[in-house]
Every structure is written in structure tokens, then in C-alpha cells.
A = this chain, B = another copy of it.
Amino acid sequence: MPKDEFEWIRQHTPQRHFQKSLIEGIGDDAAVFASETEYNQLLCVDTMIENVHFKKKTMSPEDIGYKALAVNLSDIAAMGGIPVFYMVSIAVPGTWSDDELKGIYNGITDLGAFYQIDMIGGDTVSSPHELMISVTVYGKVEHNASLLRGNAKPGDYVFLTSATGRSAAGLDILLNKGRLSDFNEKEKVLINHHQRPKPKIIAGRTALKLQARIALNDISDGLASETFEIAEASGTSIELFKNQIPVAEELLLFSENKYWQWILYGGEDFEIVGTVSESDWLKLQEAMKREGIVLYKIGRVKEGHPSVTLIDGEKKESLQKQGYNHFR
């Protein structure tokens, strides 16, 4: 824990800023920025706790910082939004060195710089046991367009931006071997999906610009759970077709039973699941393709009580809305 928090934060605050709307960043009681009338505003927050969401064994300080911001950018992506500013609250136990803390901030500010968004506030307090990091992201989105979970209607297709389950597989490897071991190429891919999952900002923006009725949700808690949230918010029933859900080749390192668990219930891939009407499906697929994003059509929205059913030939399995627990 740095002795002079104020001085420390000043030292770790980027000198220049990206966003023209910023009036006062870090250094006063609150940040001040100008309204942009052509947009609505977005706000979200997510908290990561040591030994609940990460361990020193599984994530470097830089990874922790990266992911604490990325999980929020993923939420902005699922709203079709543009991230603008972020704030970082860290509670630091004495077992973490100043260098490790600096690593966390570097992980955050590097990702922030990539998206040209500015850190405009936060605080650093001490914590008796676990490190805790809570990031708030402020973003913006055009009026008269929204990608809410409640937008799904019977007849819609369910789509997915890419294969899920790789983050959970990467975590499994990290828990077994620790992050400082040697890994083969496929393991490295999986680990990278856990430590550095990419928020799908461009996918969200592309869906939004279509001006169609699209429901979107980012996959932080697992495909089943996030699809369930769309079903609940829309008052619909959703069928997923097992043979249409993509299976990443790196997952074939593991037993089928294991990887299907991860594909359906593993969290933090930050892929996007959504629904779109049959008539807009090709337009959406084409628009995504132009951005280099392959869309998978994995299911169908039906009338019925909120539920998610996995269809596998003749077999039907009711999927649970179970949250992702890292170390269960």
C-alpha cells in the first residue's frame, strides 16, 4: 500500500487524455465531463476479488488489471456502446507489493489506451486479506437504438460470435500447472482466453448500426446462463442446437464431458450471444463478416415460459441458469 495515495495515483495517471469531453479528470472530488447530446449514456460496474475471481497462481498483476477493465468493456459491447471513461477502486492487502500494484495499473491503462478511453477517478484503500478491484465504465450509445436482452421474439435466430468454453479450459490448466509453467501452443491459446479475453466492442457496434430489433448479452457467466437472461427478459423460451454450437479445436485436448460443461457453463469468454429476426439474419451476418467476425447460428427463440433447452437429435436437455464459479 503506497504511503501517499494521492501522490501515488498522480504518478500513475496518464498525463495526456484521449476524450475531448473530459473537463477535469483525477485530482478533485469528482471527475467532470461535458454532455454529448447525440448520445445516450451508459454506466456499468464489475468487481473482481482475489481467490474468488482470480489467484496469483492464475493471473499476473497485468492480467488482473486488464481483465477488471475488460469485463466492463464487455458489458458496454453488449449494449452496442462506445466506452469513454473508467474509474478504478482497488483495495490492497499488505501481501501485495508496490510493483504488483503498479502492474495492475499498467494492465488497466494499457487496455484503456488501446480503446482511447481515460481513467478519470478511483481510489486505493488497504484491505486486510484479499485484493479487490472494482472498475466503473462510462460509455455512450446513439439514441433510438438498443440491444436490450428483452428484444427477443419467437421465431428469432440465436447467434454467437465465437466458440465459448476456452476461458474455463484455460483456467483449468492454470489451476493445475500455475501460470509460470511451460505450455504447448494449444494450452497457450486457452490460457490467453482466460487471462486476456477480448471485449467484443466491434461486434456490438456492428449489431447496433443495423438498426434492427436485436437482443444482445455478453458471456461472462456462461452461454446457458446468459441465454437464460435473454429468455427471462423477453418472456420467451430458447432452444439451442447442440450440433450447431461451435467447439474450439483446442478443447479437444479434454474429455467431451468436460468441454461441454465449459462450453455451456464456463464464463468469461466475453463472446456475445444474441437474437435477431429471420429476416435480418443475413444482413447481420454480412455486416459482421465485413468486420472479420464469423457469426454462428446456434438456436431459435420460441413461445413459452422462460427456459433454455439444448436439443441434441432426439434428446432434449433443460439447461440451468447457473452462474460461473471459478474455484468450485
Cβ-defined contact, A28 with B149, below 8 A: yes
- Asked whether any CB of chain B lies closer than 8 Å to the CB of A231, the reply is no
Q: CB within 8 Å of B: which of A3-55?
A: 4-6, 23-24, 27-37, 39-53
* Distance A128 CA – B326 CA, assembled complex (angstroms): 13
**Which residues of chain B are within 8 angstroms of A53 by Cβ–Cβ distance?**
125
Q: CB within 8 Å of B: which of A124-148?
A: 125-130, 132, 134, 136-139, 141, 146, 148
Name the residue among A49, A52, A218 with the largest chain B CB count within 10 angstroms.
Answer: A49
Cβ-defined contact, A79 with B30, below 8 A: yes
Q: Please pick, from B30, B87, B132, the residue contacting A81 in the complex, using a CB distance under 8 A.
A: B30
- Asked whether any CB of chain B lies closer than 8 Å to the CB of A75, the reply is yes
**Which residues of chain B are within 8 angstroms of A89 by Cβ–Cβ distance?**
45-47, 134
Cβ-defined contact, A218 with B29, below 8 A: yes
Residue of B nearest to A91 (CB): B49
Cβ-defined contact, A27 with B233, below 8 A: yes
Cβ-defined contact, B30 with A75, below 8 A: yes
- Asked whether any CB of chain B lies closer than 8 Å to the CB of A105, the reply is no
Counted per complex, copies of this chain come to: 2
Cβ-defined contact, A29 with B5, below 8 A: no
Cβ-defined contact, A121 with B47, below 8 A: no
A77 to chain B, nearest CB (A): 8
Q: Please pick, from B41, B75, B129, B134, the residue contacting A45 in the complex, using a CB distance under 8 A.
A: B134
- Asked whether any CB of chain B lies closer than 8 Å to the CB of A309, the reply is no
- Asked whether any CB of chain B lies closer than 8 Å to the CB of A281, the reply is no
* Distance A245 CA – B279 CA, assembled complex (angstroms): 72
Cβ-defined contact, B24 with A35, below 8 A: no
**Which residues of chain B are within 8 angstroms of A81 by Cβ–Cβ distance?**
30
* Distance A28 CA – B81 CA, assembled complex (angstroms): 13
**Which residues of chain B are within 8 angstroms of A79 by Cβ–Cβ distance?**
28-30, 32
- Asked whether any CB of chain B lies closer than 8 Å to the CB of A78, the reply is yes
Known A36-B35, A218-B29, A233-B28: A128·B45 in contact at CB below 8 Å: no
**Which residues of chain B are within 8 angstroms of A29 by Cβ–Cβ distance?**
44, 74-76, 78-79, 149, 216-218
- Asked whether any CB of chain B lies closer than 8 Å to the CB of A123, the reply is yes
**Which residues of chain B are within 8 angstroms of A27 by Cβ–Cβ distance?**
149, 233
A306 to chain B, nearest CB (A): 12
* Distance A24 CA – B81 CA, assembled complex (angstroms): 14
Closest 10 CB pairs of A and B: A30-B44, A29-B78, A129-B129, A29-B75, A134-B134, A47-B89, A30-B42, A35-B35, A136-B136, A45-B87
Residues of chain A whose beta carbon lies under 8 Å from any beta carbon of chain B: 4-6, 23-24, 27-37, 39-53, 74-76, 78-79, 81, 85, 87, 89, 91, 120-123, 125-130, 132, 134, 136-139, 141, 146, 148-150, 216-218, 229, 233, 321, 323
